[in-house]
Amino acid sequence: MNNESLFSMALGLQSPWKVEEIIFSNDNILEQNELHLQIGFESGARFADEWGFSAQCMIQSIGNGNT
């Protein structure tokens, strides 16, 4: 099991949602630690609209080069 799957399970994410990227930064000088999780969805996923109809709501592009 990879870290992305582990965090997805810990957060209770269900398909099509998933953790895509995990970034942990440790700043010893400022004594700060940060955990950043990039949440995304599986390619071709369909989402329900405000009336609950999911068949019509397929994401074509999310603007970061992924389709």
The tokens describing 56, both together, are: 């019509």
Note the pLDDT of residue 11. 94
What span, in angstroms and rounded, lies between the C-alpha atoms of 37 and 39?
6
Q: What is the pLDDT of residues 7-65, one digit of tens each?
A: 999 999 988 889 999 999 888 777 889 999 999 988 878 777 777 666 666 666 556 55
Nearest to 46 by CA among 24, 19, 15, 21: 15
Are 54 and 47 spatial neighbours (Cβ–Cβ below 8 Å)? yes
Q: Where are the domains of the chain?
A: 1-67
For the chain, what is the largest distance between any 2 Cα atoms, rounded to a whole number of angstroms?
Answer: 51
Split at pLDDT 50, 70, 90, the class of 67 is: very low
pLDDT at 37: 94
pLDDT of residue 19: 94
